[in-house]
Chain A
Amino acid sequence: MKKEEPSIVVAKQNNALQIFALDDAAAHLGLSIGLPLANARAICPQLKVFDADEAADAKALNDIACWCDRFTPLVALDPPHGLFLDITGCAHLFGGEAALMQMICGSLSRQGFAVSAAIAGTSVCARTMTRHVSGHIVPDGGEAEAVKSLPVFALGADEAITRGLRRAGLKTIGDVASRARHEITARFGDGFTSLLEQALGQGDAPISPLKPLPDFIVEKRFAEPVATEVVISATLSRLAAMLVAAMDRQGKGARRLQAQFFRTDGAVRAIAVDTGQPVTRPEVIDRLFRERLDALSDPLDPGFGFDLIRLSASRVEIVVQQQRDLDANVHDNDELAALIDRIAARIGCKRVVVHLPQDTHIPERAVMTAPAQHRLAAAQAADWPEREESEPPLRPLRLFARPEPIKVIAEVPDGPPAWFQWRRASHTVVRVEGPERVAMEWWRSREEMLTRDYFRVEDETGLRFWLYRDGLYDREIAQREGEIVQPNWFVHGLFA
């Protein structure tokens, strides 16, 4: 068998290329992390050298974390290259702790990762174990015994602390543990003391999982990977029925649903659907996911197939049973909410909006749009200002998000327009009404905004516009420049 060439990964540190990571062959040659590249080349000229890519490393770790989701929903990152899995209550599903660890290590090794794993009562203890030996299962209460003989660097404390401990003659964790705590704290700080205690199993630090724990999870594992659309959608329907049955026992309905597709090659695709009202019917869930899957811009790629499909409800609400058929409005609102959910699942929740009035005079801020899924009830109960009887419309039916500049001829600079040109077409003003003066809200905007004089204008063909002049001519415009300037005119809206 051909001997493997040693390979290393280098990164620039302290203005020099140093070894960042290395493989077993390189380690056998006596290379170590932190050694300058020039020295390493001198030791072994046929080294294979690669550049470090920390972003790719982080992404790979994240992808592995997503893959580990199939074993437990509580997966936490421990950068730069560690993962915590909280397997409380999960191990028996995979045939016990030893079998579970073997399964994870085996799968990762087959994909070309070097893995070191350990199971212990506390996360820090397990991490300490992995630094030294792989595949160890620490029995409950045996943490102190297990880590006693390990060198202090396995704790993963700062370089300075490790060096200090070694200089003090404390070579193993057992040595450090034998000292009184207050001595250690006085010399190395209480952060290190708590780390030591956690490693000894005398205290636990909570891990921070990547994803919040869903309230309800149902999943389906396949002995043979599935890849056809028919099977996938049938599986989703069955899972939806199971999920609803589980939620129904507690009187809950789902507001946010997530389907996760675990591919055999380790890639995980998660697709989420939000709803405006708690969903309690499997066919609704089924339909929402069908809409969402249809509309994906990069469709679900089964590759060599999915071996696990999971459906989870990450946000649930208590369902209030309403009496039907007495009030038609209730029924109508349900139908509308369901329609909004379907459209939002297809094109995105920010694209389905309702309108809420705002207490301001500035035309473009007078109405706020909000996602219909969340604010439908608020919009239906909103209080719009009453229109004045027998007055013509004072606000345009179509409003430009960005007022468009126009060329205007007015008889006097602060007078109404007599002629204007908009989008290369000229309009002669036949009827005009105004000005309606709108002052800007000086207490809100940072930059200075000018007062606007709005005019309602009808041209010779009957088109009706809403024009405004930016700034009071005699006070705001002329004074600012110190010389005669033409005021800026804009068309802000169109009347019906």
Chain B
Amino acid sequence: MTGARTNTLASLRGSIERIEAQADASAPARVALGHAEADATLQGGLAPAAVHEVFAEGRQSAAATGFIAGLAGLVSLAGRVTARRPLVWIRQDFAEIESGALSMAGLAELGLDPRCVVTVCAADVDAALRTAADALVCDALGAVVLEVWGEARQFDLVASRKLTLAAQASGVTGLLLRVAAQPQPSTAETRWIVRAAHSPPASVGSAWGAPVFDAQLVRNRHGPVGRWIMEWKCDECLFAKPSAYPQPVAAAPAHRPHQASITGQQRRAG
């Protein structure tokens, strides 16, 4: 009995592997994030032509936005030397009220190109989903970001499957930003939960440095999961391990208590 079960399991596994090997043969190269450990876990990086989900708590929306903007930037640059492919950012009206509009000046500060971004303001989740499915079919795009705030019962397996099929057919990567929502069953390739992490100062002058994320990979269809602290390098447009203090730090005087006040870390610029 046990042997029969093992055999059945083995044959099923084999057939799944064959199916996936066929899919992999035609699949485009993975997009490396730049973070060595994460790339190793993801077997080379983020899979394009698939759907990836990023979840965050309500107050972590900006961190999740930064993370997903980084992913979108990496994906839309992948395979292209000259210019980025356009990025379509679909958001629900409510998301803008709740966590602010995506600022193009902020996007430019992250090293991404605001010229490529087309924003679609959908009134509700249904319109947003429909627009996302439409956009994912268009193979001229680099990535499609769908931002939805809160729980949405429309995001069921059927909707998720539709997005995945569209992404596979066109080769466009779909990125779902779900703020203040609980993960539900879906056909996404990976699922992340993102929080903001402390950002040590990059130089002597500034109080804090580049965006740092606490990215937790909670689902990976083709591999293990993990949790890493990632820093977004604005200059190189890559994720990386957060650098330790690049500047030498003077030893604290032995005879004085450690100063924990904030005054030592502020910079007067005005």
Contacts and interface: CB of A to CB of B under 8 A. Distances in A.
Contacts of A60: none
B8 interface: no
B85 A456 contact: no
B207 A431 contact: yes
A493 B103 CA distance: 9
Interface string A354-369: 1101000001001101
Interface string A417-437: 010000101000111111111
Contacts of B113: 384
A36 to B, nearest CB: 54
Contacts of A399: 100-101, 103, 105-106
A169 interface: no
Contact of A397 (B82, B107, B135, B198): B107
B138 interface: yes
A346 B131 contact: yes
B33 interface: no
Contacts of A495: 62, 66, 106, 211
A453 B208 contact: no
B212 A462 contact: yes
Main secondary structure of the interface of A (DSSP, over half): mixed
Given A347-B122, A390-B202, A416 B262 contact: yes
A453 B270 contact: yes
Contacts of B96: 401
Given A343-B134, A347-B120, A379-B115, A496 B104 contact: no
A367 B196 contact: no
Contact of B206 (A340, A369, A433, A461): A433
Please classify how large the interface on chain A is, using the bins under 10, 10 to 19, 20 to 34, 35 or more. 35 or more
B59 interface: yes
Contact of B140 (A331, A367, A431): A331
A296 B105 CA distance: 35
A353 interface: yes
Nearest to B200: A431
A463 B63 CA distance: 8
Interface in A331-357: 331-336, 338-340, 342-343, 346-347, 351-355, 357
Nearest to A397: B106
B131 A343 contact: yes
Interface in B98-149: 99-111, 113-123, 127, 130-131, 134-135, 138-141
Contacts of A381: 115
A335 B137 CA distance: 11
Contact of B208 (A333, A354, A379, A456): A456
A395 B109 contact: yes
A434 to B, nearest CB: 6
A433 B105 contact: no
Nearest to B120: A352
Contact of B118 (A372, A416, A463): A372
A363 B100 CA distance: 13
Contacts of B198: 430, 458, 462
B136 to A, nearest CB: 10
B202 A496 contact: no
Judged by DSSP, the binding face of B is: mixed
A387 interface: yes
- Name the residue in A385, A425, A458, A495 with the highest tally of chain B Cβ atoms < 10 Å from its Cβ: A495
Contacts of B268: 434-435
Contact of B207 (A334, A425, A432, A496): A432
Interface in A395-424: 395-401, 411, 416, 418, 423
Contacts of A290: none
Contacts of A340: 118
B103 A395 contact: yes
Contact of B135 (A343, A384, A496): A343
Contacts of B116: 380
A430 B108 CA distance: 26
Contacts of B130: 346
A392 B108 contact: no
Contacts of A385: 108
A393 interface: yes
A437 B65 contact: no
A398 B140 contact: no
Given A339-B135, A464-B62, A432 B262 contact: yes
A481 interface: no
Given A387-B109, A462-B212, A493 B131 contact: no
Interface of A: 329, 331-336, 338-340, 342-343, 346-347, 351-355, 357, 363, 366-367, 369, 372, 376, 379-382, 384-385, 387, 389-401, 411, 416, 418, 423, 425, 429-437, 453, 456, 458, 461-464, 493-496
What are the nearest 5 A-B pairs in CB distance? A496-B66, A494-B62, A335-B140, A398-B100, A433-B207
22 contacts: A343-B120, A347-B120, A351-B122, A353-B118, A366-B105, A367-B104, A376-B118, A387-B108, A390-B203, A393-B110, A397-B65, A397-B66, A397-B69, A397-B102, A432-B262, A432-B265, A456-B207, A458-B199, A462-B199, A462-B212, A493-B100, A495-B211
Interface of B: 59-63, 65-67, 69, 82-83, 85-86, 88, 96, 99-111, 113-123, 127, 130-131, 134-135, 138-141, 195-199, 201-203, 206-214, 232, 234-235, 262-263, 265-270
